[in-house]
Structure 1
Amino acid sequence: MKLLIVLWLSVTILGICDGSKILGIFPVPSKSHYIIGEALLRGLAEKGHDVTMISPYTLDKPMKNYTDIVVNEVLELKEAYGPQMAEFNATFFQKANLSYHLFPAMNHAIHNSSNVRQFLKKGEKYDLCIASFIISEASFGICDSVQAPAIGMSLVGMTPFLSYHTNNPTPYSYVPNGFLGLTDEMSFWDRVKNVASSYFIEALMHFFLLPYQQKLLNTYYPNAPTIEKLMDNVDLYLMNSHTSTDFPKPLLPNIIPIGGFHVQIMDKIPEDIQNFLDKSQKGVIYFSMGSNIKGADLDQGIRNTVLNTFAKLEYDVLWKFEEDLPNKPKNVHIAKWVPQRPILMHPNVKMFITHGGLGGTVEAIHGGVPMICMPMFGDQPKNCAESAQKGYAIVVDLLGITEEKLTNAIKEIGTNPRYKEKIMLKSDLYRNQEINPMDKAIYWVEHVIRHKGAKHLKSRASSIPWCQYYLLDVAGFLLAICLIGLCITYFIIKLNLKVLCWMMQKIRGTKKCKNSGKHKIKSQFNVLIILWYFPSRHFNEYLNVDEKLWFEINELHISLKTILN
């Protein structure tokens, strides 16, 4: 009988963790973002879970228990807004205007997608939902529709958006805003910018972004709870970050860093690229501006500068370039798409020229390849600034790039062993974590499935009002007590001075205290306080009071005692 019970419990527990239905929502039309989400869901599928992915892309090699729901409408938006995203000379206001139009259009495209609506009509239930949520919090309405507990996933590490939703302690004195390009060593004006921008984003979230997400919920998921309630139901957050690629900072127990988990999966290098890497005599420079910016979108002047610089190098160059490249130097090999992770592991790759995206930065650190960074937007300035501060990268301004600047940067990394040594140290930290980051991610996913949430890890900070979180109510109360105490003390002193003035009138026989004698009265009152506790005539030699004044004070002291007794 006991054996049967043990077998039944084992089957039940395994049934909870193995073969669970998991829904992933990664709708941003960025291949680099998709790669991270796809790596996690593929890892879960390999563990036996039945996974479904909502995204603009599909799995290259289909798996039996991995289903794609493609949001084609989002890719169409990317094609429409792509040229504007590649405007390198765009001002802050032009970028803000682009975001103002792009993100609402993207959100509507996700939730109004024919494939997504058809999927929801089936009424399937899932055991867990994992959603990339930055500026798309309404995606948790899909999680509510499939009646699944939710995990939030931050693909770019700790951001002001993640801090806002979790109320994670974020001391702005040394924790930089991830979108400013600052490090944890900030000057006074850096801290001013950091505080102002961070509070601006919090205000933007509260007064604009979340109300807009609520409108999306009302439109597409009218029976869902409010956006605040949906976010409050998210008990756990997976964060694509590690101390090797981020500044040390406080983290709540329900924010799990899993940085480096996606580098466990290696794609095969195409044969032509493999031959190019293997045959290089002096080594290879790998150049890629990520999945969002095409090489052809680079300004013609910038492109010519880069090509002229490459033509003079002794190195070979592998450039991710999506179109034909006229006047290509002999030492340059172009490819429309490059499997970046295995290439950065190749021993002949000497340096990586990159835009500084987090995925590429992680892969370069894991492979031990120093970087030349040309940040553009988002978290890229922060990633590049941190890499330069830690000594394994050089930052080159893309708008102010010249052949001389780029050549000097390449020569510095190629001849100074310090960069290689620094990044190999970080690579060792990445490779020798306390637990394999993919296993860590899967453990916490299964933990939430097993316990139907993770309320036991969630801090109360995420649900209390901001005035309580910052102790403004307590500070106000203590300030009020101090002010009341000061007022009472003031009126007591004022009353005592009036009494003292009246007694002086009685002793001297005057009708009133003269204004010119106020300072003298205050001095006498101070001495009186001492005499009240120490009525010894010997104190006159310490107080240095003349005989006449001492006589008056002594008489006043006797009179005061008589009155009070």
Structure 2
Amino acid sequence: MKWLCFALLLVLKSALDCEAYNTLLVFPNLSKSHTTLAFGYAKHLLGAGHEVTIVTPYPKEAKEIGHPKLRVVDVSESLKIFTPEVFTIKAVLWNETMSQYWKIMKTTSKMFFSYEEETIRNQNVQDLLNDHTTHFDVVIAEWFHSDMFAGFATVFNCPLIWSSTTEAHWMVLSLIDEASNPAYTPDMNSAAVPPFSLAQRMMQFTIQAIFKAFKFMYFSSRDKTNYEVLFGPHVAKRGNRELPPFEEVLYNGTLLFSNSHPVYGQSMRLPANCKEIGGFWIEREPKPLPQDLQKIMDSAYHGVIYFSMGSIWKSKDMPDTMKSDILRVFSNLQQTIIWKLEEELPDLPKNVHIVKWAPQHGILAHPNCRLFITHGGIFSVTETVFFGVPVVGIPVGYDQTLNIDRAVHKGFARKVQLAYDLADDLKLAIEEVLSNDSYRIRAKELSQMYHDRPVSPGAELVHWVEHVVRTRGAPHLRSPALMLQF
């Protein structure tokens, strides 16, 4: 009985010692896939006993987390700015020249910046900023080509943690240290894999210079003005403080979470306040598959090929001839095909099954999953390494080309160029990966390397958030590079 009382006292003491912190997650990105990170942060922090407020354009999905300590700030009204016709496979096929590429980059960048302005102006966000009874111990904000969200930490006078959706690249690293060296570190929009030739090194340097000039010309002064206009009054209302200069706030991030891991990315020189936690949102044991999908996968004698182009670049936006050619290729395969396609197609081959939504983790985790045909987004590449499934990649844009080129270089993928006549190349790539066992073996090896770590990325995430709060911003981790004025 004494031992039982002693054990209960220890449990009680442990519970009392575990202080709950209040975290603000600012993840209003247009893309539904980006909410994967936001909800991952929320689940881990809630599971550790902390309170979480999340700013998201997808409030219904956030509320499905179903936790009493979760508060959702709905900014779905801002989605009206989204112009989906820019993000289609047809648009990419029509805009293949470099001049058109930069025109698209300029258009999409302006859209994202306008969206972030609208997010801050959103009435629900304004109500949060005006609520003087609310305090936060830390703000975690997604960096996506804009620095404005640093203002949230300024208003609530608490530490700021940046979250990079992709591997830590030169643009976001410059907020906490210095830009990565272009002599051996590729830009996220580049297709180069080191070691670089002289021409490739010059190209990486040129990309950095162009993007810096692009941001300076179009957005730097706008960010500063918006910071002063949108956050200044809220700091003034809270009293006893003046609004810090934007240049000071911009580089005041205490930590950077990088959605990466060297196994599928690149081994990089990182400062002490950059932590790689790629894959923290993945459940080691996914939820059970729906009965119809479970039956399809269990009965696939020759295995399953899973095909998904992600949540933005939808397969339904492919030209009709391209879809017909892909179906022709699939019809001649022994394997069962599960294709995430947002429309119904007539006269489907018997081995092809269309799903409008796919539980990706459950499919990749199934032992009969032989191959993943993907656009190569960072989430999909991370998940395929997590579960050890080889890849055929069809990159569309942004970081996808780099992700797939790295996967090819590491030996667990084949690449197919996006084009109107990709079907024949796709057939050859599928046959190569399925017939050559080295791809499957390499995928399993990399998966084992990924999982060989002292703690899970979710546990590491929670530890560093708590560490930042406990140490009042972790000043001991700050890089001396930030002390340089230029």
Q: TM-score, normalised by structure 2?
A: 0.89
Shift of 1:338: 1.4
Is the CA contact (8 Å cut-off) linking 2:171 and 2:179 kept in structure 1? no
- State the Cα deviation string for residues 516-554 of structure 1 (Å, max 9, x = none): xxxxxxxxxxxxxxxxxxxxxxxxxxxxxxxxxxxxxxx
Matching of residues 387-406 of structure 1 within 5 Å: 387-399=407-419, 401-406=421-426
1:83 aligns with 2:59: no
* Aligned twin of 2:26: 25
Matched residue SS, 2:382: helix
Q: 2:258 aligns with which of 226, 233, 239?
A: 239
Matched residue SS, 2:275: strand
Cα distance in 2 between the residues matched to 1:103 and 1:167: 25
Cα distance in 1 between the residues matched to 2:155 and 2:272: 27
Structure 1 runs (4+) deviating above 6 angstroms are: 10-16
Shift of 1:169: 5.9
Q: 2:152 aligns with which of 126, 142, 154?
A: 142
More deviation, 373-382/396-405 = 396-405
* Aligned twin of 1:520: none
More deviation, 206-215/379-388 = 206-215
Is the CA contact (8 Å cut-off) linking 2:322 and 2:423 kept in structure 1? no
More deviation, 50-59/161-170 = 161-170
Matched residue SS, 2:149: helix
Shift of 1:13: 9.8
* Aligned twin of 2:76: 72
What is the percentage of aligned positions where both structures have the same residue? 28
Cα distance in 2 between the residues matched to 1:359 and 1:18: 32
More deviation, 23-32/407-416 = 23-32
Supply the AA of the counterpart residue of 1:243. P
Cα distance in 2 between the residues matched to 1:110 and 1:342: 33
Cα distance in 2 between the residues matched to 1:85 and 1:418: 35
Shift of 1:382: 0.8
More deviation, 28-37/260-269 = 260-269
1:108 aligns with 2:128: no
Is the CA contact (8 Å cut-off) linking 1:153 and 1:239 kept in structure 2? yes
Matched residue SS, 2:184: coil
1:435 aligns with 2:437: no
Matched residue SS, 2:455: coil
Matching of residues 34-183 of structure 1 within 5 Å: 34-57=35-58, 58-59=61-62, 60-78=64-82, 81-86=83-88, 87-89=91-93, 90=95, 91-123=100-132, 124-168=134-178, 170-183=180-193
* Aligned twin of 1:264: 283
* Aligned twin of 2:194: 184
- State the Cα deviation string for residues 381-418 of structure 1 (Å, max 9, x = none): 11011001111111101125433211110000000011
CA RMSD of aligned residues (A): 2.0
1:369 aligns with 2:389: yes
Q: Residue 418 and residue 386 in structure 1: after superposition, are their counterparts in 2 closer, same or farther (change >3 A)?
A: same
Matched residue SS, 1:166: coil
More deviation, 160-169/82-91 = 160-169
Cα distance in 1 between the residues matched to 2:321 and 2:394: 15
* Aligned twin of 1:201: 211
Q: Residue 190 and residue 424 in structure 1: after superposition, are their counterparts in 2 closer, same or farther (change >3 A)?
A: same
Supply the AA of the counterpart residue of 1:53. I
Matching of residues 158-557 of structure 1 within 5 Å: 158-168=168-178, 170-222=180-232, 223=235, 224-264=243-283, 266-399=286-419, 401-466=421-486
Q: Residue 425 and residue 305 in structure 1: after superposition, are their counterparts in 2 closer, same or farther (change >3 A)?
A: same
Is the CA contact (8 Å cut-off) linking 1:31 and 1:291 kept in structure 2? yes
Is the CA contact (8 Å cut-off) linking 1:154 and 1:238 kept in structure 2? yes
More deviation, 105-114/410-419 = 105-114
Supply the AA of the counterpart residue of 1:300. D
Matched residue SS, 2:92: coil
Q: Residue 227 and residue 13 in structure 1: after superposition, are their counterparts in 2 closer, same or farther (change >3 A)?
A: farther
Cα distance in 1 between the residues matched to 2:14 and 2:446: 39
Greater fraction of residues in helix: 1
Supply the AA of the counterpart residue of 2:258. M
Cα distance in 1 between the residues matched to 2:349 and 2:22: 51
What runs of 5+ residues in structure 2 fail to find an aligned partner?
1-10, 236-242
Cα distance in 2 between the residues matched to 1:148 and 1:12: 28
Shift of 1:175: 1.0
Is the CA contact (8 Å cut-off) linking 1:169 and 1:251 kept in structure 2? no
More deviation, 204-213/454-463 = 204-213
Shift of 1:231: 2.2
Matched residue SS, 1:118: helix
Q: How many residues align?
A: 455
Shift of 1:217: 1.1
Cα distance in 2 between the residues matched to 1:140 and 1:100: 18
Q: Residue 446 and residue 13 in structure 1: after superposition, are their counterparts in 2 closer, same or farther (change >3 A)?
A: farther
* Aligned twin of 1:496: none
Q: Residue 95 and residue 11 in structure 1: after superposition, are their counterparts in 2 closer, same or farther (change >3 A)?
A: farther
Shift of 1:101: 3.2
Q: TM-score, normalised by structure 1?
A: 0.77
Cα distance in 1 between the residues matched to 2:181 and 2:458: 29
Cα distance in 2 between the residues matched to 1:379 and 1:297: 20
Cα distance in 2 between the residues matched to 1:17 and 1:234: 25
Is the CA contact (8 Å cut-off) linking 2:176 and 2:255 kept in structure 1? no
Q: Residue 464 and residue 99 in structure 1: after superposition, are their counterparts in 2 closer, same or farther (change >3 A)?
A: same
Q: Residue 16 and residue 77 in structure 1: after superposition, are their counterparts in 2 closer, same or farther (change >3 A)?
A: farther
Shift of 1:161: 1.4
Matched residue SS, 1:334: strand
Cα distance in 1 between the residues matched to 2:79 and 2:357: 17
Shift of 1:273: 1.5
Matched residue SS, 1:48: coil
Shift of 1:207: 4.6
